[in-house]
Amino acid sequence: MSVSTNVAIANAIDISSQDGEAEQPGPGRRPRRRRRDEGAVTWRKALRKDWRLYTLLILPIVYLVIFKYLPMAGNIIAFRRYRPGGNIFGDEWVGFHYFEMFVNDPTFWRVFWNTVILGALCLIVIFPLPIVLALMLNELRSAKFKRVAQSITYLPHFMSLVIVAGMVLQLVSTRGTFNQIIEVLGGDAIDFIQKPEWFRPIFVGSEIWQTVGWGTILYLAALTTIDPQLYEAARIDGANRWQQTWHVTLPGIAPTIVVLLILNIGTFLSVSFEKVLLLQNPLNLSTGDVIATYLYRLGIQSGNVSYATAVGLFEAIIGLALVLSANFISRRVTGASLW
């Protein structure tokens, strides 16, 4: 062991012993809350130094309080017989009456399982695709071609859902592109949008086209944080491109994957309401009716606000339970979590 190393160790021991002595309270003296005071001082210093950056949080916080937290008080109408225009705190208290109603309603369980199946398909099929696309874009060596490819894949995200739904309906109509191809190949035209069994493939396919490109942004940002020396070391060890991806790239972006997976599980039941509503018709309701459209019919069209609120509160509780469970399992298995 070198002299400089011994000196450094001795200094460290001396400093730690001094700290230990300083932390011991003398007779008649109260113990100092050093860590708490240091934390407060550090927070004040950071606020004083970067106060301009902290002021940028004011508007987002105000937005969250006004439009996210204050409306939570409205959930009280799930336990009251509320009538539009009445007082949400003054109508008749009915307890869990509306919860018992939807639990015993066969229509609710049909739309619930439709939502679960559609959410599961989106999670299983769509979630891995941005990761794959990000890895493919990351391998492109031509910067110009990479920018063009990214722009093409991002563009569908910015299109209106009404336009996207209109395009989908045109493609799958009886005289649409898909049926023209089928007829050229000798088959008979299929009225896709009128058949319940085709609703889920159509919805998932349109979601892939519209969301996968935009979903690569966070993964591409995470890929830039991986140390290039890790790839050099892997190449020296004889690793090919696939082995580098498996042993270097994927572990490097694993925390990002875990966080996004937890967030996606939390929104498991919140399928795209607008797109489902636009693709829906009376003939495909058996598979195309989900909780969001069910609430729309009950709360907006029928005016049964208390019943719709009870169903919405049930959906929110399920989503919260999924987030907490996914976060707990992820922390136990991988060590990465949201909190």
Residue 266: predicted pLDDT: 86
298, 311 in Cβ contact below 8 A? yes
159/52 same-domain check: no
- Domain membership of residue 231 (yes or no) is yes
Instruction: Identify the CATH number of the domain in which residue 180 sits.
Output: 1.10.3720.10
Residue 44: predicted pLDDT: 81
Residue 20: predicted pLDDT: 44
Residue 114: predicted pLDDT: 95
69/213 same-domain check: no
Residue 16: predicted pLDDT: 41
What pLDDT band is residue 118 in, cutting at 50, 70 and 90? very high
| pLDDT tens-digit series, residues 61-90 | 999 999 999 989 889 999 998 887 777 776
Instruction: Decide if pLDDT at 271 tops 90.
Output: no
CA torsion through residues 121, 125, 131, 133, sign: negative
How large is the average pLDDT for residues 189-216?
A: 94
Instruction: Decide if pLDDT at 48 tops 90.
Output: no
**Whole-angstrom distance between the N-terminal and C-terminal Cα of the chain?**
42
115/82 same-domain check: no
Calculate the average pLDDT of the chain: 85
**Among 95, 121, 142, where does a domain finish?**
95
What pLDDT band is residue 37 in, cutting at 50, 70 and 90? low
- Domain membership of residue 116 (yes or no) is yes
- Domain membership of residue 221 (yes or no) is yes
* Count of the separate structural domains present in the chain: 2
Residue 23: predicted pLDDT: 44
The whole-angstrom separation of Cα 92 and Cα 83 is 10
- Domain membership of residue 19 (yes or no) is no
What pLDDT band is residue 10 in, cutting at 50, 70 and 90? very low
- Domain membership of residue 250 (yes or no) is yes
Least confident of 13-17, 25-29, 284-288, 328-332: 13-17
269/230 same-domain check: yes
197/250 same-domain check: yes
Q: Give residue 230's Cα distance to chain centre.
A: 30
136/281 same-domain check: yes
208/317 same-domain check: yes
- Domain membership of residue 140 (yes or no) is yes
166/279 same-domain check: yes
Higher pLDDT, 141 or 85: 141
**Among 25, 60, 95, where does a domain finish?**
95
Residue range of the domain that includes 279: 106-333
| pLDDT tens-digit series, residues 163-176 | 999 999 999 999 99
Residue 64: predicted pLDDT: 95
What pLDDT band is residue 2 in, cutting at 50, 70 and 90? very low
- Domain membership of residue 6 (yes or no) is no
118/256 same-domain check: yes
111/230 same-domain check: yes
- Domain membership of residue 279 (yes or no) is yes
13, 19 in Cβ contact below 8 A? no
Count CA atoms closer than 13 A to 64's CA, side-chain side: 5
238/129 same-domain check: yes
